[in-house]
Amino acid sequence: MSAIYILWLRQLKRYFRTRIRILSSLGQPVLFLVSLGFGFGPLYQRAGAGNYLQYLVPGIIVMGILFPSVFSGIEIIWERQFGFLKETLVAPVSRFQIVLGRTLGGATTALFQGTIVLVICSIAGFRVANFFLLPVAFGFMFLIALLGNAIGTAIGSVLDDVQGFQLIMNFLVTPLFFLSNALFPVDGLPALLKLLVHLNPLSYGIDGLRGALSQAFLFGPGIDLVILGGVTSVLLGVGSYLFSRIEL
Amino acid sequence: MIEVQNLTKRYGEFMAVDRISFSVSRGEIFGFLGPNGAGKTTTIKMLTTVLKPTEGSIRVGGLDPVRDQGAVRRTFGIVFQDPSLDEALTAFENMELHAVLYRVDPRERRGRIEKLLRFVGLWDRRGDFVKRFSGGMKRRLEIARALLHEPRIMFLDEPTLGLDPQTRNHIWSYIENLSREEDVTVFFTTHYMEEADRVADQIAVIDHGKIVAQGSPASLKERVQTVSLEDAFIALTGHAIRDEEASTADHMRQIRRIWGRR
């Protein structure tokens, strides 16, 4: 138990001490907020679809959570050669405790990151529809952070060279984000794209968060929770299993 | 303290370690020498539970690293070839984390950390972030950390690689001290023959995964009729330069040199 706690605490200390990384990972969501939110906003309004910012912001928050949390999982590749991971792998602590401490730590910092994005978006004009639903929003944010961490852990446990990292980001994580309902509404999409969005587990996380923040569910909170929770649990299992098989 | 019988690690067709046997007695300093890619690090990994042997048996402190993983892990301390400190934490925090992972009694933690940081001359720097430390300071901190749970065996993989002669000298005096005064068994690898000559009680020379010679430094020099251990080493392993395929670890080390530490 104390091992999980200290590994969780370590992730938090690392996060709050590298301010440059906090800033750099805020850059991308803010850029999307400004360029898409304000760039397409008028067009969206003219099309009679309402306020685009209210639609887009949950997607931007997910972006602010997903990328850093995948990254914190995938760091395993680097850390097991040059970092602290080796120290934990030879310690008399079960691999499950290590992966749990790391994942919870990574998810906590990603949740914090998502909260900062939410605050920035609120300053930019986003309105939280119902403050009583904020705990639900944080719940979905935390699940998405866990999902990202689990993906990163699974990949980081299998790859043994940092070369593969860019490949994963370009061909897995970026499509996961863009081929979801993060940036555009699903109504009237071409059939293939619509199918992809429906198959993408992240879409359910975004829908859950959007429902809680802007009160506009597409799938409904129940389905969102079941699918996101289910996929996240499976991936956490896969990630822990692959992590437990790491040899140096 | 360490007993190895017919230990083998095979990667496909490649024999990284090929039926090696040796034993290290309690309190002894054992030097494991060999050219690049000879199988030194692979052997250390198998002894320290992070790599499963293909064949053969190992006993570390009377226990089997494959079956009694947890118990074996408590008996040894290890200093890896590549750094394994958390650079975003302070020296003290790194020690504390180790104490928690190895379940050092909380009442003893502070005292032991202070004693060891003083031992390696880092007590005054305990509150500094490790990323501000020099290579030698980091290595000393890793040694102090590895001793925190009072291991009976210390594994050191190239502990002095890339350090200046003063620091190397320092580190070897710590290690000699451990063996002479604390009765800790030491297993190390190195490229520097004069160091092995100076500190090791017993030496094994490994080449192409096989042990080609074993004994005290004096007996090895006598056997191949050479003055220095360096000459004995060349006589035993040949003059050919080893061109090994770069491993992924080598590739990452290169990236690390180019981009600096994070």
Instruction: Tell me which chain B residue has its CA closest to the CA of residue A18.
Output: B88
Query: What residues does each domain of chain A span?
Result: 2-244
Of B93, B101, B255, the CB nearest to A93: B101
The C-alpha atoms of residue B157 and residue B142 are separated, in whole angstroms, by: 12
Model confidence band, residue B252 (pLDDT cutoffs 50, 70, 90): confident
Confidence (pLDDT) at A163: 78
Confidence (pLDDT) at B215: 92
CB of B50 closer than 8 Å to CB of B78: no
Contact at CB, A90 and B78, closer than 8 angstroms? yes
Q: Give the Cα-Cα-Cα angle B74, B79, B82 (nearest 5 degrees).
A: 135
The answer, yes or no, to whether residue B243 has pLDDT greater than 70, is no
Q: Which residues of B touch A84 (CB under 8 A)?
A: 84-86
Q: Tell whether the torsion through CA atoms of B256, B257, B259 and B260 is positive or negative.
A: positive
The C-alpha atoms of residue B154 and residue B77 are separated, in whole angstroms, by: 5
Q: What is the CATH number of the domain that holds B251?
A: 3.40.50.300
Phi-psi region of A200 (alpha: psi -120 to 50; beta: other; left: phi over 0): beta
The C-alpha atoms of residue B61 and residue A142 are separated, in whole angstroms, by: 44
Tell me, rounded to whole angstroms, the distance of Cα B209 from its chain centroid: 18
Confidence (pLDDT) at A183: 94
Which pair of structure tokens corresponds to residue A243?
């992590």
The answer, yes or no, to whether residue A3 has pLDDT greater than 70, is yes
Model confidence band, residue B64 (pLDDT cutoffs 50, 70, 90): very high
Number of domains in chain B: 1
Q: Which residues of A touch B99 (CB under 8 A)?
A: none
Confidence (pLDDT) at B112: 96
The C-alpha atoms of residue A107 and residue A113 are separated, in whole angstroms, by: 10
The C-alpha atoms of residue B136 and residue B188 are separated, in whole angstroms, by: 17
Non-local CB neighbours of B207 within 8 Å, separated by 6+ positions = B34, B35, B38, B236, B237, B238
CB neighbours (10 Å) of residue B115? Answer: 14
Q: Give the Cα-Cα-Cα angle B26, B28, B34 (nearest 5 degrees).
A: 125
Confidence (pLDDT) at B259: 67
Of B73, B78, B86, the CB nearest to A92: B73
The answer, yes or no, to whether residue B152 has pLDDT greater than 90, is yes
Residues in chain A: 248
Q: Is B170 or A212 the better-scoring residue by pLDDT?
A: A212
Which pair of structure tokens corresponds to residue A77?
């590749």
Contact at CB, B89 and A160, closer than 8 angstroms? no
Instruction: Tell me which chain A residue has its CA closest to the CA of residue B95.
Output: A87
The interface residues of chain B toward chain A in range 107-166, judged by CB-CB distance below 8 A, are 129, 145
**Interface mutation target, options B153, B247, B248, chain A, most CBs of A under 10 Å:** B248
A151-187 pLDDT, tens digit per residue, is 999 999 998 777 777 888 888 999 999 999 999 999 8
A77-102 pLDDT, tens digit per residue, is 888 878 889 999 999 999 999 999 99
Model confidence band, residue A23 (pLDDT cutoffs 50, 70, 90): confident
CB of B239 closer than 8 Å to CB of B227: no
Distance from CA of B56 to the nearest CA of A (A): 18
Q: Which residues of A touch B251 (CB under 8 A)?
A: 161, 163
Of B45, B49, B84, the CB nearest to A87: B84
Domain limits for position B116: 2-259
Confidence (pLDDT) at B262: 44
**Distance of CA B99 to CAs A87, A89, B253, Å?**
12, 15, 29
pTM (2 d.p.): 0.88
Non-local CB neighbours of A65 within 8 Å, separated by 6+ positions = A110, A111, A113, A114, A117, A141, A144, A145, A148
ipTM of the modeled complex: 0.87
B9-55 pLDDT, tens digit per residue, is 998 888 899 999 999 999 999 999 988 888 898 999 999 999 999 99
Mean pLDDT of B138-159: 93
The answer, yes or no, to whether residue B260 has pLDDT greater than 80, is no
Contact at CB, A160 and B248, closer than 8 angstroms? yes
What order of strands is seen across the sheet that includes strand B14-24? B14-24, B2-11, B55-60
The C-alpha atoms of residue A76 and residue B159 are separated, in whole angstroms, by: 24
> By percentage, how much of chain A surpasses pLDDT 90?
73
**Distance of CA B33 to CAs B25, B30, B166, Å?**
18, 10, 22
Please indicate if any CB of chain A lies within 8 Å of the CB of B257: no
